[in-house]
Amino acid sequence: MATFGTLSDRLTETFRNLRTKGKLTPADVDGTVREIRRALLDADVALQVVKDFTGKVRERALGDEVNKALNPAQQVVQIVNEELIAILGGEQRRLEFAKTPPTVIMLAGLQGSGKTTFAGKLAKQLEGEGHTPLLVAADLQRPNAVNQLQVVAERAGATIYAPEPGNGVGDPIRVSKDGVDYARRHQHDVVIIDTAGRLGVDAELMKQASDIRKATSPDEVLFVIDAMIGQDAVNTAKAFQEGVDFTGVVLSKLDGDARGGAALSVASVTGRPIIFASTGENLEDLESFHPDRMASRILDLGDILTLIEQAQAAFDEEEALKVAEKLANETFTLEDFLDQLQQMKKMGSMKKMLGMLPGMGQMKQQLEDFDEREIDRTEAIIRSMTPGERRNPKVLNGSRRLRIAKGSGMTVTDVNQLVQRFEQAAKMMKTVARGGTPQIPGMGPMGKPGASSKRGKKGAKGKGGSRSGNPAKRAAENAGLATASSTPTGTGFGLGGRTAAPSEADLAEIQKLFGKS
């Protein structure tokens, strides 16, 4: 995640230095804690939060759980992970719905924090979960705020209640109260009230937000805060907590280049949980906040669970079974490949998905260089083919490939590379579907552990030892065979291994056998 990029790099580098040590001394722990403190302060985490965090990490790192551990460095990483989870809120907290509908959700925050966009994202997510949300336009102060919410509501497919034009006209308190009554009459089970913000915290803003809360008695008051706000996040959060007393936090703009200190400060300082994280500009870019998963991302340990959930939401299980069957029967075509590409696009940004894999922080440059439009280009090439060509790429001769290249705006080389990659991928997937192990290009066949080839068995048969009639020579050759069989001759990737030199005792024994002293 871009927001925590610098912090993640600093922490990963700190732990990399620890892994070279078999045992940690107090000096090692102090040096590690010092680097963690610098990394957190550079990330704009509040000073008090940094002090509490590093104090707990140091105390635990010097305790018995590290001293008695088989791998002290991994134990320190685990401690930092657990303490990160704690300051991020500990456990995931979901929205609490009213026993008697409608559930009223009031949004609060500064102007520009992303309240209106979040309102549309939340409405879309709730629609997908079977709810019938109503958006209430109570931000009547900011120019064109009502129009913006109308556009967002239309994109989200949600109903909007906007009786006033805004731009300084209308009473936001009356609109909010009437919006709840409208929802009750028209069977909307969730009401999302988009309130006004200011460029800074002031008395007028807090009084209006407090009056809306009193008039509507919301079940949830969500404080939307910009993750790019930096050190001022704590002061802003405290002011809203005193003025409105929110029940949960929403972090917006987590896809930006900010340092991310707000996320690590707000939950700890206010004692209120982070419920949602907004990770992009699209209405689908909204995640439920999981403290453990976010801590794993920061430490470059990956977030496989979120990746799996996104895949399950985007991919149709029945279609996946059909594809698996086609792979096994060798009937997987470019049309099926196109369908799979389109389902992948539903999951969102490929960079974001790849960034959830463990260790991808070390491949940041490769991720940055990844071109999201490559999928669109591939799709354009396939769409330029006829149905018959998609079903049977073997018919693609030179003239057909030239026509496809012109139709998709690509080159013949691009078409050739796509067909070649497709054939290789289909071959590998077919092998996997049949329960076999694929042959990865450049690495040779991946055999099962412990299995040996016929050549290996044949070679092993001739390793019964020397048949020389000279006892000294026979003993020397047998000693050499024993050394060769016990020494690895290569690695699992086909790279040559280092041959071990004979010990002094072996040399002395060989010299004795040859009658040399």
Interatomic CA distance for residues 224 and 61, integer angstroms = 35
List the binding residues. Answer: 109-116, 194-198, 252-255
Interatomic CA distance for residues 277 and 290, integer angstroms = 9
Interatomic CA distance for residues 368 and 4, integer angstroms = 15
Interatomic CA distance for residues 246 and 213, integer angstroms = 10
Residue with tokens 């050499």: 480
Asked if 2 contacts 8 with a C-beta cutoff of 8 angstroms, the reply is: no
Burial class (CB in 10 A: 0-12, 13-18, 19+), 501: exposed
Instruction: Provide DSSP, 131-167.
Output: --EEEEE---SSTTHHHHHHHHHHHHT-EEE--S-BT
Asked if 379 contacts 326 with a C-beta cutoff of 8 angstroms, the reply is: no
Tell me how crowded residue 291 is: count the other CB atoms within 10 A of its CB.
Answer: 21
Phi-psi region of 132 (alpha: psi -120 to 50; beta: other; left: phi over 0): beta
List the binding residues for GTP. Answer: 109-116, 194-198, 252-255
Reduced to 3 states (helix: H, G, I; strand: E, B; else coil), residue 224 is: strand
| φ, ψ for residue 134, nearest 5 deg | -125, 125
Sign of CA pseudo-dihedral 320, 126, 249, 205: positive
